[in-house]
Copies of this chain bind each other. A is one copy, B any other.
Amino acid sequence: MDLDTVRTFVAAADAGQFQGAAAELALTQQAVSKRIAALERSLGVRLFTRTARGAELTIDGQAFLPHARELLRVAERAAASVRTGRRPLRVDVIASRGAPSGLMRGFHRAHPEIELDVMMLFGIDTAVAAVRSGAIDASFRAVGMPGRPLPEDIESVRVLDEPLQLLTGPAHALASARSVTLAELAGHRIWMPGLVPGTEWAAYYDGLAAEFGLTIEATGPNFGSDALLDTVADTPALATFMGEQTRLVWPAGHGLRRIPVTGPTPVYPHSLLWHRDHPHPALATLRAHLGAAASGHDAAGTWTPGWVTAR
Contacts and interface: CB of A to CB of B under 8 A. Distances in A.
**Among A44, A58, A67, A121, residue most surrounded by chain B Cβ atoms (within 10 Å):** A67
A67 B75 CA distance: 8
A67 B77 contact: yes
Oligomer copy total: 2
Nearest to A66: B117
A37 interface: no
Contact of A1 (B3, B62, B88): B3
Interface residues of A, number: 36
A119 B59 contact: yes
A215 interface: no
Given A74-B67, A74-B71, A43 B79 contact: yes
B67 A78 contact: yes
Contacts of A44: 82-84
A67 B81 contact: yes
Nearest to A130: B59
Given A1-B79, A71-B71, 12 more contacts: A3-B3, A45-B82, A47-B82, A59-B119, A59-B130, A59-B135, A62-B119, A63-B81, A64-B82, A67-B74, A67-B77, A68-B78
